[in-house]
């Protein structure tokens, strides 16, 4: 029986879809069978980020309306074995789907896949309840800024009320330079507020924009700091114990610069 994990954040633009695409691909690269599900009905993006937009014929809406079988709606990613995408309908909106229908799809997918990653839309309304309906675990994405953290905090409360556990945290777009000169929260500040398990820190990586535009998830091109971070998170998801990477800048010069530019 596979694990259904909802990827969510509350706030928009913090990297839910990018993280879903990269974690799904990374898990497939680790020889797991993965289904990524776009739950952002009406505003779908996961297909673009994964570079599969031209191959989508059926969507989850067609499956719900019994226009086609679930297996037919799944789009196979040809670059790696065992990775499937279930796209969201772009014509409908979030109220056209019931949470029970999403749960039924997730429950079916988990019988054939090791991991089912559900890409949640921003917000706390119907889209979120649809995305989390079938999930037994959650990954909350946040960036190290106060508004994203407050929204993440809200989402964590909702996930806890829905008895979704464990809830793991990914801190995205982390910038060691900004932390170094005191203008960005470090990971301890974030964890102090959110108080959940940290599963990974993804550094700010300009390669993400290019990879999104080309539809090639970062993890295919190993080597960039972002790709390595997503690979480490995927490994942790499979149960490997890898210590959290420390992105703090090292070196005597940096220490001296940090000493003088620190706040407080």
Instruction: Quote the CA–CA distance of 190 and 230 in Å, as a whole number.
Output: 19
Find the binding residues for another protein in span 76-135 (CB under 8 A).
124
By CB under 8 A, name the one of 146, 209, 244, 256 that touches another protein: 146
| Nearer of residues 34 and 196 to another protein, judged by Cβ | 196
**By the rule CB under 8 A, 73 interacts with another protein:** no
For residue 144, which of 4, 3, 14, 7 has the smallest C-alpha distance? 14
By CB under 8 A, name the one of 65, 76, 95, 193 that touches another protein: 193
Shortest CB 168 distance to another protein, Å: 16
Per-residue CA distances from 212 to 9, 17, 218 (Å) = 19, 10, 8
Sign (positive or negative) of CA dihedral 132, 125, 156, 186: positive
| Nearer of residues 160 and 240 to another protein, judged by Cβ | 160
| Nearer of residues 104 and 124 to another protein, judged by Cβ | 124
**By the rule CB under 8 A, 156 interacts with another protein:** yes
| Nearer of residues 107 and 145 to another protein, judged by Cβ | 145
Shortest CB 156 distance to another protein, Å: 6
Structure token digits, residue 52: 């599969």
For β-strands 83-86 and 137-142, DSSP reports them as: unpaired
**By the rule CB under 8 A, 154 interacts with another protein:** yes
Residue count at the site for another protein (CB under 8 A)?
Answer: 15
Contact 243, 75 (CB under 8 A): no
Q: At what angle do helices 225-237 and 207-214 cross, to 10 degrees?
A: 80
User: Is the preceding omega at residue 259 within 30 degrees of 0, hence cis?
Assistant: no
By CB under 8 A, name the one of 47, 77, 119, 151 that touches another protein: 151
Q: Which stretch binds another protein (CB under 8 A): 30-38, 47-55, 152-160, 175-183?
A: 152-160
Structure token digits, residue 70: 């679930």
**By the rule CB under 8 A, 242 interacts with another protein:** no
Give the other-Cβ count within 10 Å of 160's Cβ: 13
By CB under 8 A, name the one of 93, 183, 195, 240 that touches another protein: 195
Give the other-Cβ count within 10 Å of 241's Cβ: 6
**By the rule CB under 8 A, 183 interacts with another protein:** no
Which residue is it, tokens 């994203």? 148
**By the rule CB under 8 A, 157 interacts with another protein:** yes
Find the binding residues for another protein in span 124-143 (CB under 8 A).
124
For residue 72, which of 89, 81, 90, 60 has the smallest C-alpha distance? 60
> Which spans of this chain sit near another protein (rule: CB under 8 A)?
124, 146, 149-151, 153-154, 156-158, 160, 192-193, 195, 264
């Amino acid at each position: 029986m596979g694990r259904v994990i909802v990827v969510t954040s509350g706030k928009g633009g913090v990297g839910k879809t990018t993280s879903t695409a990269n974690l799904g691909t990374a898990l497939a690269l680790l020889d797991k069978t993965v289904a990524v599900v776009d739950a952002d009905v009406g505003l779908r993006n996961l297909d673009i980020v994964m570079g599969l937009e031209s191959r989508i014929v059926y969507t989850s809406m067609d499956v719900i309306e019994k226009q086609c079988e679930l297996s037919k709606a799944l789009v196979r990613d040809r670059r790696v074995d065992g990775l499937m995408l279930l796209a969201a309908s772009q014509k409908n909106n979030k109220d056209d789907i019931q949470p029970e229908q999403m749960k039924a799809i997730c429950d079916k997918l988990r019988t054939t896949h090791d991991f089912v990653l559900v890409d949640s839309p921003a917000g706390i309304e119907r889209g979120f309840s649809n995305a989390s309906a079938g999930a037994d675990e959650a990954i909350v994405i946040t960036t190290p800024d106060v508004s994203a953290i407050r929204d993440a905090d809200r989402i964590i409360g909702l996930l806890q009320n829905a008895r979704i556990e464990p809830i793991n945290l990914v801190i995205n777009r982390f910038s060691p330079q900004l932390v170094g000169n005191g203008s960005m929260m470090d990971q301890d500040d974030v964890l102090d507020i959110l108080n959940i398990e940290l599963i990974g820190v993804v550094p700010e990586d300009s390669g993400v924009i290019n990879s999104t535009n080309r539809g090639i998830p970062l993890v295919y091109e190993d080597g960039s700091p972002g790709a390595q971070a997503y690979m480490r998170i995927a490994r942790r998801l499979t149960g490997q114990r890898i210590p959290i990477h420390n992105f703090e800048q090292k070196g005597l010069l940096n220490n001296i610069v940090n000493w003088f530019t620190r706040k407080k």
